[in-house]
Amino acid sequence: MSWRTRRAFLREACAELGALSSVGALSSALRAQEQAQEEQQQEQEREPEVVLPSLPSFDRAMDEHMAPRAIPGGALAVLREGRLVHLRGYGKLDREREARVRATSLFRLASLSKPITAIAVLRLVEAGKLALDEPILRYVALEPFLEVGASEDPRWQRISVRHCLQHSGGWDRGRSFDPMFRAVPFARLLGREAPASAHDVVRVMRGRALDFDPGTRYAYSNFGYCLLGRAIESVIGTSYEEHVRTQVLLPLGARTMRIGRSLPTQRAAGEVRYHLPPGHAEKRVDSAFPAAGERVPAPDGGFHLEAMDAHGGWIASALDLARLLAALERPAEKPLLAEGSRRAMRERPAPPLGRDEQGVESETYYGLGWMVRPQKQRPERANLWHAGSLPGTSTLMVRRHDGLSWVALFNQRQESDELPDGAIDAALHRAANAVEAWPSEDLFERCAR
């Protein structure tokens, strides 16, 4: 079966998903679809890649970012007013192999997972299944694990869904720690085999005191988004991954997106290998899977990616993320969120959030799943963006006020302040500003063939 025939099969399989109603049937259909995708990815890798037109300024920006950092591979998709105008892979899937990155290669997204979760939450708010200002514990009823002498912090009762979306729930990893990277010690506390699941992490954290009063300040929190994932599961009755894939992503044609796997032996077909930068390649950490009895490179089991699902666990191609961006930019054609939800995503939080210590509105703030920078002359227009970072992973997704948007994915992260990963942000803005004539062709049409 050719990969084009397989693509037709996948379209039919996705149509069947919409007709299935039971949780078990949906899970079975997803597994069958995933297997077909694995076979398609493997077959595509054996065929020459179709070279799409590209924009030279963006090619230069990617090359100039990757070369001095010795980043093995990257991918970039650029959209203008929801049309795909640039799509390309760069470099290698694996530093030790000759296979090239394609636009359909899968990368870990790290915190680009948060806008995906925010979209899923807002859709459930629209459906009346979640409410932004209701307590998160209304939806997450996991029994707290209390160590000897400990008691529940009553402030937990005041944490809302909105607080979790805006990183104001009361957890500050700078003051305490990031619980999403405590897979082994949390499992041991519960007397379970490591690594701890997302539910395990919630139970342990429910027995811990907050770092500050909910809603009183911003502190970036992976754990808040972990709670949102559990809230989605509670009101829907399926896994977080299954709900987002079937109800958010598949209708957009984003068929290869899924929660990634921690261990190299379990990675998806077409997924890149994740690398540490030169000078750090030999570094090893304790595995989050201690039964394996070994120290590992951090990207290969040093953390429990599956438990990071709602805040950092997704893998995707640049092409599928472009489909998600297009739905946000062209709501009339691909209804993903109602206008009220799209507006809520970029609204400034209620005081004291989104202000400096003197109460003056800050130039940037965190909305619902996105960083936001309103335009000074037209504050109703704004740049929205999110970055992602894990050992072996660096990502960026941008929605600009002028109708441009892009996503950049890399299979290496810097481990020092020298040549920072964040430099790609300004480089891609410069690349966009350098384009004198934008293509009229929509590359989505070629990708659908």
Average pLDDT over residues 230-243: 97
- φ, ψ dihedrals at 393, nearest 5°: -145, 135
pLDDT grade for 149, boundaries at 50, 70 and 90: confident
């069958």: which residue's tokens?
A: 32
For residue 116, pLDDT over 70 is answered with yes
Q: CA-CA distance, 97 to 90, in Å (whole number)?
A: 14
pLDDT of residue 20: 36
Residue 4 banded pLDDT, cuts 50, 70, 90? very low
Task: Say if residues 375 and 382 touch (Cβ distance below 8 Å).
Answer: yes
Nearest to 344 by CA among 114, 125, 41: 125
pLDDT value at residue 31: 67
At 238-295, the pLDDT tens digits run 999 999 999 999 999 999 999 999 999 999 999 999 999 998 988 999 999 998 778 9
The single-letter code of the amino acid at 17 is: L
- Rounded (to 5) percent helix, strand, coil in the chain: 40, 15, 45
Distances (CA, A) of 265 to 201, 204, 273, 279, 381: 25, 29, 11, 25, 45
Per-residue pLDDT reduced to its tens digit, 118-140? 999 999 999 999 999 999 999 99
List the single range of 222-231, 408-417, 439-448 with lowest mean pLDDT. Answer: 439-448
- pLDDT tens, 316-347? 999 999 999 999 999 888 889 999 999 999 99
Supply the pLDDT for residue 87.
Answer: 96
pTM of the predicted protein model: 0.90
User: Count of H helices and E strands in the chain?
Assistant: 14, 12
Q: Summarize pLDDT for 10-40 with one digit per residue, the tens.
A: 344 343 433 333 344 446 666 666 665 555 5
Q: Which neighbouring-strand residues pair with 285?
A: 296
In sequence order, what DSSP letters do the residues of 12-64 get, joined into one string? HHHHHHHH--SHHHHHHHHHHHHHHHHHHHHHHHTSPPPPPP--HHHHHHHHH
Average pLDDT taken over every residue of the chain? 90
* Residue-level pLDDT at 293: 74
Q: Report pLDDT digits (tens) over 69-96.
A: 999 999 999 999 999 999 999 999 999 8
Give, as one character, the DSSP assignment of residue 374.
E
**Count of alpha carbons within 13 angstroms of residue 291, beta-carbon side:** 9
Is pLDDT above 70 for 48? no
What is the model's pLDDT at position 47?
54
**Res 8 pLDDT > 50:** no
What is the rounded distance in angstroms from the CA atom of residue 120 to the CA atom of residue 179?
23
